[in-house]
Structure 1
Amino acid sequence: MTTEKPNFKKSLSLLDATMLVVGSMIGSGIFIVTADIVRNTGSVGWMMIVWVLSGIMTLIAAITYGELSAMFPKAGGQYVYLREAYNPLVSFVFGWTFFAVIQTATIAAVGVAFAKFTAYLFPILDEDVILLTIGGLKISSAQMLSIAVILLLTFINTCGVNAGKWVQTSVTLVKLLSLSLLVLFGFLAFKHEIWNQNWFSQNTWTLRKLNVDGSFENYTSFAAFGALSAAMVGALFSSDSWHSSSAVAGEIKNPKRNIGLSLALGTIIVTIIYLLTNLMYSSVLDLNAMVNAPKDRVAMSVAQEIFGPVGITILAVMIMISTFGCNNGLIMAGARVYYSMAEDGLFFKKAKGLNKYSVPSYALWIQGFVSALWCLSGKYGDLLDMITCVVVVFYVLAIYGVIRLRRLKPDLERPYKAFGYPVLPVLYIFMGIAFIVSLVLFKPTYSILGAIITLLGIPIYYIIKSKKND
């Protein structure tokens, strides 16, 4: 008697898929990165332009991905799209980078962010509290908490997609409610003097550098381009993981319709929330208060202005909820990419197996293990800067893949065709290339190191292929 191989269960509704997108996008970035954006732009006008441009890029990518997701409604998302549009080498290099840094280091960074804000409530969990020293490696209580949370969420997701979706949908709804209330109370604490100073001064739309001492420096035209790109790194990072629902396509009901719709709805919701949040910041804090916020935590300074001393506690709880839900989404989606790679014989063989709950438990645990190592390394933040450029490269490739497939395989069934084609996909490609070029010019160290990590995937691919052929 043979036992039937477990298959993915179609358990995720449109709401679940949308909450996966929203929850994976909103982590700790929206509470922090505005400080660096204001340093690079020197005005609230340009601060908002950065968030608008980031939102436009993300939304164009999401609605264009809708065509790919309807054509290839399979687990793995972007990995599958790159394989179908190009070849297994391109998709493997993406999958390698995704596993080595993009997803695992992001999970680690979000986990440590959870721990840092938990330390506001329980100081013993602060990153400065060292529990163990092994040679030159110092392990803090914050790192141990982050690892514990990652392993807990990994375990929950091994118990079936219903367990993961329950956490994701409920936590994300609480997160959206909390952020909406923060925005509402922020506007109720509206300060006319601050608003007028930020929005009706002669420099509201002047792009310039703002130093922490309050002085300004004008940019040359060339430097202004670099500063704008540097500012967008934070905004784009805060908007990343918008494609999460495409990775779990095998578990979404009516995937040809609901994946693309969840991508569009999720990015629209997050973009609106981000724009309103930053408008609210500008109604409570002036530019100097934003750039001098302790540890760049602009939202903390805002919460103190709104709620007084208890504001720190309120916001710490909000960010704990936000990062917890964000990591659950990242963990759920990431494992399905490795599952697809294993199906192609390009990852650990066990990763293509589903457990009795019909989820890729081995892929989940190996992702959790690597993420835990990044938590201990303390280098995840640097690596995230390094791969920002690479992430956009793969997005550009996937978006161009829509154009490429239209030309090479015109007869493929396309239940949904990208809105605004070919204008919007081409616009994204140009914006993405401009962003990539500017990072290469103005942050060459990060870009080169990111490229090295990515290109390591090429020899690894051929080593794996040679072993398969032996």
Structure 2
Amino acid sequence: MAETQPAFKPSLSLVDATMVVAGSMIGSGIFIVSSDIMRYTGSAGWLILVWLITGFMTITAAVTYGELSGMFPKAGGQYVYLKEAFNPLAGFLYGWSFFAVIQTATIAAVAVAFSRFTAYLVPELGESNIILTLGSLKISAAQLLGIALIIFLTYTNTKGIKGGKIIQTTFTTVKLLSLFGLIILGFLLAKHSFWDENWQTGLKAMQLPRDEAGNFIKEGPWFSIGGTALIGAIAAAMVGSIFSSDSWNNVTFIAGEIKNPKKNIGLSLFLGTLIVTIIYVTANLMYLYVLPLKDIAYPEGNRVAVAASNALFGSNGSIVIAVMIMISTFGCNNGLILAGARVYYTMANDGLFFKKTGTLNKNAVPEFALWLQCIVASILCLSGSYGDLLDMISFVVVLFYALTIIGIAVLRKKRPDIERPYKAFGYPVLPAIYILLALTFCVFLIIMKPVYAGAGLGIVLVGIPLYYIAVSSKKKGA
């Protein structure tokens, strides 16, 4: 008798799935990127509007994905949706980009963020402590700690979905409660309110002048912007908010391990993105209450949450935020690592990725895919280039989100008879608005940051010859 191959075990409840959504979204971004948004837009109104626009786009995309997750409730998520809506090449280009930059660079960036804030408690683990120099490459204690975190979480996830589920649910619950606590305490304990002063700026968008390198001159006079300059500034500002709100779709990658996936994936997408959007908007309202605009734009070390916490708790504020970010990034990376490997597993079973990544170990998880992802993310940690890669991620991610949502209309025409337990909310109006906003964002990001947007597109296009190589190898092996 042939040996039965391990299969995914549906063991994640609706609560677990919602924790994967929320936990994968909240990393270090909400503690940092509001400074960049303020530098680009210069007013209280636009700070909040950027987060609201991002939240609207995120929730709209998430509830729209509910229709796709109900149609194709299996591992692979967005890779599967693009393949079914368009063709295998479209799915492969997403999967390749996911492996090369989207997921792996995010894992690297979140791991190093964990290290940076661990250094608040243990300075020896900071980026300034260079452990090894190899030519022009300098390896810091922070990078090594980041790699150690990736290896540890990868190892725990090779032991089965249960361990990953416990880590995800526990850490996400703690960070949600601590974030809500920080927001509430911000309004209650602030020694001085800057609320009225900050809101005098309203929706008057402003920027600082820039030097020849394109950097804002901190002490320069603010000047008003409007028209296309404002749209471009919003697009550039949204790079941070979109990165901070990304990875909500990770739950679709683990559909094979969710109970009643046709119902629970769509519901978890809505609940998770709604919870996180509420947290992000209220956190920024708290920043506006506790800090003047100039301290939001230029806090010490670009860490706006630390500045806010110091205003509330004095010198202990840095420690409070450091612990919160360590908890947040630990749980975030667990969700990213857990979910990402399922995409490579599905691609391999379609003959479009390394064959061994398409197997499950005795614990019913794709162990080889997990370790391969670990290696690439660790290399990106060492390279120190993850910051640049993250600028590329926003362009690539939003482009694929828009394409996937277009795929809903394609599938309604192409496969009208397939079961749809859940239909996209507000179709076709809300999806159309999302696509319009997404394409506007991408166009203006090309204008504002052509090098990074072009590099991101270049990474996607490299996947075209790789796809045909994979198809050729598949035919030879058949």
User: Structure 2 length normalisation: TM-score?
Assistant: 0.97
Equivalent AA in structure 2 for residue 61 of structure 1: A
Equivalent AA in structure 2 for residue 411 of structure 1: D
1:219: Cα distance to partner? 2.1
Please give the secondary structure, in 2, of the residue aligned with 1:456: helix
Please name the residue that 1:160 is paired with.
160
Is the 8 Å Cα contact of residues 189 and 284 (structure 1) preserved in structure 2?
Answer: no
Matched, 1:283 2:289: yes
2: distance between equivalents of 1:403 and 1:296?
A: 42
1:214: Cα distance to partner? 6.0
Please name the residue that 1:295 is paired with.
301
2: distance between equivalents of 1:71 and 1:212?
A: 51
2: distance between equivalents of 1:349 and 1:149?
A: 27
Is the 8 Å Cα contact of residues 187 and 289 (structure 2) preserved in structure 1?
Answer: yes
Is the 8 Å Cα contact of residues 191 and 312 (structure 2) preserved in structure 1?
Answer: no
Please give the secondary structure, in 1, of the residue aligned with 2:131: strand
Please name the residue that 1:452 is paired with.
458
Is the 8 Å Cα contact of residues 214 and 288 (structure 1) preserved in structure 2?
Answer: no
Please name the residue that 2:370 is paired with.
364
Equivalent AA in structure 2 for residue 195 of structure 1: W
Please name the residue that 2:202 is paired with.
204
2: distance between equivalents of 1:468 and 1:30?
A: 44
For each residue in 1:305-345, what CA deviation from the matched residue of structure 2 results, as whole angstroms up to 9, or x when unmatched? 11111111111000000000000000011000000100101
- Within the candidate set 345, 352, 358, 2:358 is matched to 352
For each residue in 1:331-385, what CA deviation from the matched residue of structure 2 results, as whole angstroms up to 9, or x when unmatched? 0110000001001011110111101110001100000010000000000110110
2: distance between equivalents of 1:421 and 1:413?
A: 17
Please name the residue that 1:172 is paired with.
172
For each residue in 1:23-49, what CA deviation from the matched residue of structure 2 results, as whole angstroms up to 9, or x when unmatched? 000000000000000001100111000
Map 1:302-317; keep pairs closer than 5 Å: 302-317=308-323
Q: Percent identity?
A: 59
2: distance between equivalents of 1:310 and 1:374?
A: 33
2: distance between equivalents of 1:215 and 1:44?
A: 17
Equivalent AA in structure 1 for residue 175 of structure 2: K
Please give the secondary structure, in 2, of the residue aligned with 1:121: coil
Q: Structure 1: where are the runs of 5+ without partners?
A: none
Is the 8 Å Cα contact of residues 193 and 290 (structure 2) preserved in structure 1?
Answer: no
Is the 8 Å Cα contact of residues 205 and 226 (structure 2) preserved in structure 1?
Answer: no
- Within the candidate set 451, 463, 468, 2:469 is matched to 463
2: distance between equivalents of 1:192 and 1:103?
A: 41
- Within the candidate set 240, 253, 274, 2:246 is matched to 240
2: distance between equivalents of 1:192 and 1:317?
A: 25
Is the 8 Å Cα contact of residues 158 and 363 (structure 2) preserved in structure 1?
Answer: yes
User: Structure 1 length normalisation: TM-score?
Assistant: 0.98
For each residue in 1:135-181, what CA deviation from the matched residue of structure 2 results, as whole angstroms up to 9, or x when unmatched? 21111100000000000000010000000000000000000011011
1:212: Cα distance to partner? 2.2
Map 1:13-412; keep pairs closer than 5 Å: 13-190=13-190, 193-199=193-199, 201=200, 203-210=201-208, 212-213=218-219, 215-412=221-418
Please give the secondary structure, in 1, of the residue aligned with 2:353: coil
Equivalent AA in structure 2 for residue 185 of structure 1: L
Equivalent AA in structure 1 for residue 207 of structure 2: K
Please name the residue that 2:213 is paired with.
none
2: distance between equivalents of 1:192 and 1:125?
A: 34
2: distance between equivalents of 1:151 and 1:392?
A: 29
1:441: Cα distance to partner? 1.6
2: distance between equivalents of 1:77 and 1:405?
A: 15
Please name the residue that 1:5 is paired with.
5
1: distance between equivalents of 2:243 and 2:203?
A: 24
2: distance between equivalents of 1:260 and 1:244?
A: 12
Is the 8 Å Cα contact of residues 65 and 418 (structure 1) preserved in structure 2?
Answer: yes
For each residue in 1:69-98, what CA deviation from the matched residue of structure 2 results, as whole angstroms up to 9, or x when unmatched? 000001011000001101100100110010
1:192: Cα distance to partner? 5.8
1:193: Cα distance to partner? 4.6
RMSD value, Cα = 1.0
1:435: Cα distance to partner? 0.6
Please give the secondary structure, in 1, of the residue aligned with 2:194: helix
Is the 8 Å Cα contact of residues 121 and 319 (structure 2) preserved in structure 1?
Answer: yes
Equivalent AA in structure 2 for residue 324 of structure 1: F
Equivalent AA in structure 2 for residue 265 of structure 1: L
1:207: Cα distance to partner? 0.9
1:407: Cα distance to partner? 1.3
2: distance between equivalents of 1:193 and 1:307?
A: 15
1: distance between equivalents of 2:357 and 2:193?
A: 58
Runs of 4+ in 1 over 3 A off after TM superposition: 190-193
Is the 8 Å Cα contact of residues 386 and 450 (structure 1) preserved in structure 2?
Answer: yes
Equivalent AA in structure 1 for residue 107 of structure 2: I
Cα 1:193–1:123, aligned 2, differ >3 Å: closer, same or farther? closer
For each residue in 1:236-273, what CA deviation from the matched residue of structure 2 results, as whole angstroms up to 9, or x when unmatched? 11000011111100000000000000000000000000
Equivalent AA in structure 1 for residue 19 of structure 2: M
2: distance between equivalents of 1:171 and 1:130?
A: 30
Cα 1:396–1:18, aligned 2, differ >3 Å: closer, same or farther? same
Q: Structure 2: where are the runs of 5+ without partners?
A: 209-216
